């Protein structure tokens, strides 16, 4: 199974992603986690990425695509992959299409976790990560609306998009995700 997981910052993707990888035995490819690890290890890529992350902007596509292209080669991606936080731009989505076509393993589904904006602010303000300052949160939401939301149409037109209502308990939301994924898991 190859799944793309889309949602605004603060929607709770990380929490649901943990449940999904455990239940469906997927490799978890979180570009946010990979970038934070690179930043903390002070690699060249990590230090460059940090300049964008710390201001709430998206890291340039070429950096992200290179990271994902390498990660997709790993053996654990063969059984199934959860792409969490990637793609975030149309150019990244097109690059992903090419990579998956080369491997002969197309996407099965794109999940969009939907949460109203007031709730996102409330959750992010309580979280305390370095990029969770109010002005950085605002910029991340702007980046989501301008650069990532166009993907909903991109995948919707191909019949891949499934919206998941993102309010409720963690269990309630995961049950909604399972309703979509169980039939695909076969
Ligand atoms: P959130 O969804 O809460 O914003 P992430 O952990 O997914 O958090 O991402 C944190 C930051 O990492 C983003 O604000 C952005 O700067 C960078 N980033 C992560 N994934 C991508 C991506 N696919 N393209 C560009 N930048 C990314």
Residue 123 has pLDDT above 90, yes or no: no
∠ CA 61-10-42 to the nearest 5 degrees? 50
Atom of ligand 1 nearest to the CA of 31: 20
Which of 53, 33, 20, 2 minimizes the C-alpha distance to 164? 20
Tell me which DSSP letter residue 55 carries. T
Tell me which DSSP letter residue 76 carries. G
Supply the pLDDT for residue 128.
79
32 Cα: distance to centroid of ligand 1 (angstroms): 5
pLDDT tens digits for range 42-101: 999 999 999 999 999 999 999 999 999 999 999 999 889 999 999 999 999 999 999 999
The token pair that represents 103 in the structure block: 């491997």
pTM of the predicted model as reported, rounded to 2 decimal places? 0.95
31 Cα: distance to centroid of ligand 1 (angstroms): 6
Atom of ligand 1 nearest to the CA of 89: 24
Atom of ligand 1 nearest to the CA of 52: 16
Beta strands in 7-128 (DSSP E): 27-30, 81-84, 109-114
CB atoms within 10 A of CB 103: 13
Q: How many helices (H) and strands (E) does the chain have?
A: 9, 5
164 Cα: distance to centroid of ligand 1 (angstroms): 20
Cα–chain-centroid distance for residue 98? 18
56 Cα: distance to centroid of ligand 1 (angstroms): 8
Whose Cα sits closest to atom 3 in ligand 1? 9
Q: Which residues are near ligand 1 (CB < 6 Å)?
A: 9, 31-32, 35, 52-53, 56-59, 64, 85-86, 88, 92, 140
CB atoms within 10 A of CB 158: 12
Partners of 28 in beta bridges: 82
Partners of 111 in beta bridges: 5, 162
163 Cα: distance to centroid of ligand 1 (angstroms): 20
Supply the pLDDT for residue 180.
98
């Amino acid at each position: 199974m190859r799944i793309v997981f889309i949602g605004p910052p603060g929607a709770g993707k990380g929490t649901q992603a943990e449940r999904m990888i455990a239940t469906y035995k997927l490799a978890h490819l979180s570009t946010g986690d990979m970038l934070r690890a690179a930043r903390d290890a002070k690699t060249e890529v990590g230090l460059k990425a940090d300049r964008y992350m710390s201001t709430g902007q998206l890291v340039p596509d070429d950096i992200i695509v290179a990271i994902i292209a390498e990660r997709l080669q790993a053996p654990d991606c063969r059984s199934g992959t959860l792409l969490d936080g990637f793609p975030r731009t149309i150019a990244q989505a097109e690059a992903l299409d090419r990579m998956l076509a080369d491997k002969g393993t197309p996407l099965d589904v794109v999940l969009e976790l939907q949460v109203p904006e007031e709730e996102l602010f409330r959750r992010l303000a309580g979280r305390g990560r370095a990029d969770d300052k109010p002005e950085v949160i605002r910029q991340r939401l702007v980046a989501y609306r301008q650069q990532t939301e166009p993907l909903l149409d991109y995948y919707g037109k191909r019949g891949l998009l499934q919206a998941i209502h993102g309010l409720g308990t963690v269990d309630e939301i995961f049950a909604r995700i399972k309703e979509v994924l169980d039939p695909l898991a076969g």
